Structure 1
Amino acid sequence: MTTPIRIGIIGSGGIARAHASAYKKMPLHVEIVAVADSLPGRAQAFIEQEELVHAAAFEDHRKLLELELDGVSICTPNFAHHETSVNALNAGKHVLVEKPMSVTLQQSIEMVEAAERSGKMLTVGFQPRYDPNMSLIQEIVQSGKLGKVYFVETGGGRRRGMPGGTFIRQELAGAGAMADIGCYSLDMALNALGYPKPLTVSAYTSNHFGTNPLYHREAANFDVEDFGVAMIRLEGDIILNYKTSWAMHMDSLGATMFLGTDAGLKVTPAGSGPWSGVWDGSVGSMTLYHDVVNQHIQSSIPVIDHGLNLFDEKVRDFVAAIRENRPAPIPGAEILYNQAIIDGVLRSAASKREVTIELP
């Protein structure tokens, strides 16, 4: 009989419930051993609500990490991603941390360094990667069909879809829309390109909606951006135009586009309604623009109807990587570039000038 993978969960909010649900669908392969939450009573309440009858509750995540565990899901608010991930890696546990990776670029660097020192996996929770349509986009872009890709536009906007709580406080979240939903669109574009290194960023951000009581019930506490746009120079002489919004008086910020010397690819997100229009979901349509015998042709690429629960696929792949001793499915060393861009956006917007991205 296969020995179960022993998992700890740090944090007990809504995202932790999604992790627990995914793990519980693998009962023969996974055992949730412990849950930690710094707020008294919350871990035990989570264990009871999720019926984790054999799990232990902790208020100090460091006590949880003293247990014999194979892996840990980090489901805390953004500000705690760094400390809990580094502590888990130093304790010899594999780590699945929710996005965004951290609050600051330096924290992400330290997380990657901890993974390298420990020899343990640090993977970041970008579940849209598990949509087979995302793999198809990557395949098209990297096949050479587009020729030399020189310009990419990505991002998305909700007409009205602003969260609250820890998401809107800079000291707790690090950034607003750029980190919360923008990181997904960055990953989509950068992953398709093979994650080229970002070089410079010129950006603008604002929070006209979040700070207005007409649009947000927590306007007095809102101190992150609800809109941002940036021009990013990437290695390989590629320009990336990046834009994201939690709220706006518009139906869309447009599709994602890959412009190449031989063809172009246009991709729209799936979904409808005021919270849609961003890349935290699936693909709505894909169109290839190319020339055939001097005729302008646009070919619709069929969207794969997969029926997968992408979140479950993310957690399942983490478990499989532990069991099979595989590298991190979505390695922190790769997502470091994603975090570096968000950091560059915030620095450029604050200084009102272009900034250079420097990575170790």
Structure 2
Amino acid sequence: MNKIKVGIIGSGGIARAHAAAYKKLPFVEVTAVADVVPGKALEFVAAAGLTDAAAFDSHTELLAEGLDAVSICTPNASHHRTTVDALRSGKHVLLEKPMAVSLDEALDMVQAQRETGRMLSIGFQPRYDPNMKRLQDIIRSGRLGDVYYVETGGGRRRGMPGGTFIRKSLSGAGAMADIGCYSLDMALNALGYPRPVSVSAFASSHFGTNPLYHAEAIHFEVEDFGVAMIRFENDMVLQFKIAWAMHMDTLGPTMFLGTNAGLKVLPYGSGPWSGVWDGSIGSMMLYHDDFGGLTQTEVPLIEHRLDLFFEKVRDFAEAVRDGRDAPIPGEQILIQQAIIDGVFRSAEAKREVSVELPVYA
């Protein structure tokens, strides 16, 4: 059987993780790497041990190669153009989160995917954690009854990145796109990605723009905190809150309130950079009424040693090989992009705004 030929666009830290994962798959060959910085792709090829891979200084040159798929590991602002070009050149795409920097860009990406019939999968590796799957199973089993209120998000007491993450021209957004997308995906995926209808939000950058808290404050152009109340078609509401930095130890657990039971979920990890949903689950507690009284049941966690990032890449590669649908389809994450878009529109307008999506989302 011929190996799947894969290219990697972008050669930063996340690209190294993609290369390492692909190298573990015997049916995959990384044959090309591209980066807009001259010479950087060539350095990456040598450092990653991709001895047979060609190096290019533009993604368009790479896409002219006979590839089956690409991993896109570029700054957020280039996700749209690179993804659309890749899809229209006949390549399947594994795109690192966040999907895009605007709803219009995300819509264009999904439209390109639908027109070309290629696969567009978005990289949310926490979905491969067995305990995240257990959370989804609990919610979708009906054990909670009708879920009417959800609270999710996360906060780092200190955890502001720098560089490309804080330049709006490159990242498009701050904490919302960087870590907020993880908590939104955790909750919305468990709920089956209901359709939002409105958002009321607030965002700020009190820490990032203050030299007392950030060494690159003069260059800080994005939000380091945001909060929103989101209404959905099914009459459910979701409170979303996220922070790169704050004077608090936590923004609280993720909670699902249902008519029959409630579920409280805490993230895995500790320390100033923890408290967000980019990894596993620390604990789950079910609150319910049984035997005529108030009862709570600790949900046992599944012990595992899975490399979630590898599982993400493997699943995508196997979907390409086997002709399966995208493991985490762009059409689904488009709903999350609409919410984030609504958050920024509402925060700027200082009022509630409506969210409108095409029928296929």
SS of the residue corresponding to residue 63 of structure 1 reads helix
Cα drift, residue 174 of structure 1 = 1.1
Between the aligned partners of 1:235 and 1:313, the Cα distance in structure 2 is: 33
> What amino acid maps onto 2:342 in structure 1?
G
Structure-2 residue corresponding to 1:236: 234
Report matched runs for 1:124-203 at 5 Å: 124-203=122-201
What is residue 325 of structure 1 aligned with on the other side?
323
Matches within 5 A, 1:9-88: 9-26=8-25, 28-88=26-86
- The C-alpha deviation readout for 1:71-108, integer Å capped at 9, x for no partner, is 10000000110011000000000000000001111000
Q: Give the whole-Å Cα distance in 2 for the aligned partners of 1:286 and 1:306.
A: 16
3-state SS of paired residue (1:281): coil
**1:6 corresponds to which residue?**
5
Distance 1:203 1:312 in 2: 35
The aligned counterpart of 2:282 is 284
Aligned length: 358
1:111 maps to what in 2? 109
SS in 1 for 2:93: strand
Residue 164 of structure 1 deviates from its aligned partner by 0.5
Equivalent AA in structure 2 for residue 36 of structure 1: A
SS of equivalent to 1:114: helix
Offset from partner CA, 1:248-300 (integer Å, 9 cap, x none)? 11110010000000000010000000000000011000000000022111100
Q: What is the distance in 1 between the residues matched to 2:14 and 2:81?
A: 18
CA distance in 1, matches of 2:142, 2:12: 43
Amino acid at match of 1:338: Q
SS in 2 for 1:96: strand
Stretches of 4+ aligned residues off by more than 3 angstroms: none
* Structure 1: distance between partners of 2:256 and 2:67: 43
Q: For residues 194-233 of structure 1, what are the structure 2 equivalents within 5 Å? A: 194-233=192-231
**Inter-partner Cα distance in structure 1 for 2:196 and 2:42:** 43
CA–CA separation in structure 2 for the residues paired with 1:315 and 1:282: 17
Match for 1:12: what amino acid? S
Distance 1:223 1:42 in 2: 26
Amino acid at match of 1:250: M
Q: Take 2:271 and 2:352, find their aligned partners in 1: how far apart are those partners?
A: 35
Equivalent-residue separation in structure 2 for 1:303 and 1:166 (angstroms) = 36
| TM-score computed with the length of structure 2 as normaliser | 0.98
1:266-345 equivalence runs, <5 A: 266-345=264-343
Q: 1:240-255 to 2 correspondence within 5 Å? A: 240-255=238-253
Q: Give the superposition deviation at 1:190.
A: 0.3
Partner-residue secondary structure (3-state), 1:278: coil
Could you tell me how far apart the structure 2 residues matched to 1:198 and 1:184 are? 17
The residue identity in structure 1 corresponding to 2:238 is: L
Once the 2 structures are TM-superposed, how far is the Cα of residue 38 of structure 1 from its aligned partner? 0.6
| Partner SS, residue 12 of structure 1 | coil
Supply the AA of the counterpart residue of 1:7.
V
In structure 1, distance between residues paired with 2:68 and 2:97:
21
Partner of 1:51, secondary structure, is coil
Other structure's SS at 2:80 match: helix
Output the CA distance in 1 between the equivalents of 2:331 and 2:136: 19
How far apart are 1:60 and its partner, in Å? 1.4
Tell me how far 1:223 sits from its aligned partner: 1.1
2:96 is matched with which residue?
98
Give the C-alpha shift of residue 306 in structure 1.
1.5
Any idea what SS the aligned residue of 1:181 has? helix
C-alpha deviation, 1:244, in angstroms: 0.3
CA distance in 1, matches of 2:48, 2:138: 42
Q: Aligned equivalents of 1:215 and 1:24: distance in 2? A: 39
The CA RMSD measured in Å over matched residues stands at 0.6
The letter for the 2-side match of 1:294 is G
Normalised to the residue count of structure 1, the TM-score between the two structures is 0.99
SS in 2 for 1:155: strand
Aligned mates of 1:168, 1:338 — CA distance in 2 = 21
How many Å separate the matches in 1 of 2:249 and 2:183? 17
Secondary structure of 2:295's match? strand
